[in-house]
Amino acid sequence: MTEPKTTEEQGQAPSGKPGSSLVGQRMVQHTATVHFTSESQALARALARYREPSSTRSVLEIAITAIPFAIIWILMWLSVDTGYWLGLLLAVPAAGFLVRLFMIQHDCGHGSFFRYRRANDWVGRAIGVLTLTPYDFWRGAHALHHAGSGNLDRRGIGDIDTLTVHEFLALSRGRRLLYRLYRHPIVMFGVGPAYLFILRHRLPTGLMHSGLHPWLSAMATNVAIAALVVTMTWLLGAGPFLLVQLPITLLAASIGVWLFYVQHQFEDTFWARDESWNFHEAALHGSSHYDLPIILRWFTANIGVHHVHHLCSRIPYYRLPQVLRDHPQLSAVGRLTLFESLRCVRKVLWDEGRHKLVSFREMKATMPGKLRSDSLRLRNGISAT
């Protein structure tokens, strides 16, 4: 299968005409001095100079992530028979290092971690066995995410399912309940991540009809995971292995989904229909700057500088802080603190009229009678067809 490339990687902006009224509202909403038209495109070109990776730095990043992860894993295993509940606390830093390994895999998928495609791919595939993520399949799906992020007409692959207010109101009562359950924090950040990494990634979901390559990626990763599990079970026993690996995997999965969630699911994010969608505005204003404390920035490999990443995905994560230092106007764009990000959980529907994510309560409080009646007629029309 020919893998899709992001628009930024192709060196051009996708088709789509910017809507002038929408642009004006975005300029009011964002206090930064970055304009989405010529200035943001010029900024994207200026960021190209940060794209060159350092092989020495990349190898060092792998070492300072993989080695501590292995040491903590061994310490947790040694604590199984002596003080497991105390040793279980080590699952927190271990999960942090596993998340960081996933971020290295993520950069490999963008071709930004090493200069050569083969090095990126094989490092990414090896890490994918630990993160339970088939690298080649994920790379293709993630490229689609970058190419259409914020486009209401291109949802469905590599993103959090997000309905508009009209779409939600047009659903039957049962399907509304299902969407509410899907959006509930226990499902979104608890059950969902476990399902995603342990079960869903075992098949190339979303790209099943895209040729042989996604299937080869998923099945080869499954075989490698099975071989690793069998080997570790033979060496350590099934019980000790699961007591160590399962908490790390579940915690890391939840952290990973949370990070992905707040990168795009914040109140003043960007969504638009295809005719009004623009790559550069979607990248800059549809992705957050998750301004985390320094230790969390390190463990998450600067993935919080997500607006810059979407604007130029070939920049290695260890160069992103330099981008913010050289372009300080970017720091305020889509900025979220750790505390502010907690409020994002309630933002579940896109209001096309107000161009913002709203909660179920906000939808009910602001929904005019005409919208209620229009949605009722739309739902009845759908039911009749």
pLDDT digits (tens, 9 = 90+) for 142-191: 999 999 999 999 998 888 999 999 999 999 999 999 999 999 999 999 99
Instruction: Supply the pTM of this predicted model.
Output: 0.86
| Average of per-residue pLDDT across 135-139 | 96
Largest Cα span, the chain: 66
Q: Confidence band (pLDDT; 50, 70, 90) for 381?
A: low
In this predicted structure, the answer to whether residue 206 has a pLDDT above a threshold of 60 is yes
pLDDT of residue 16: 39
Is 2 among the domain residues?
A: no
Is 1 among the domain residues?
A: no
Q: Rounded CA gap, 304 and 375, in Å?
A: 37
Is 171 among the domain residues?
A: yes
| Average of per-residue pLDDT across 341-347 | 96
| Average of per-residue pLDDT across 103-123 | 97
Structure tokens given for 235: 């060496």
Report the number of distinct structural domains present in the chain: 1
Q: Rounded CA gap, 134 and 140, in Å?
A: 10
Question: Do 287 and 310 form a contact (C-beta atoms < 8 A)?
Answer: yes
In this predicted structure, the answer to whether residue 383 has a pLDDT above a threshold of 80 is no
For the chain, what percent of residues have pLDDT higher than 70?
Answer: 85
Is 72 among the domain residues?
A: yes
Is 289 among the domain residues?
A: yes
For the chain, what percent of residues have pLDDT higher than 90?
Answer: 76
Angstrom CA distances, 32 to 40, 178, 257, 327, 328, stand at 12, 38, 28, 11, 9
pLDDT of residue 377: 57
Residue 202: Cβ-neighbour burial (10 angstroms; 0-12, 13-18, 19+): middle
Q: Confidence band (pLDDT; 50, 70, 90) for 28?
A: very low
Q: Give the chain's mean pLDDT.
A: 88
In this predicted structure, the answer to whether residue 9 has a pLDDT above a threshold of 80 is no
Give the domain range for residue 206: 7-384
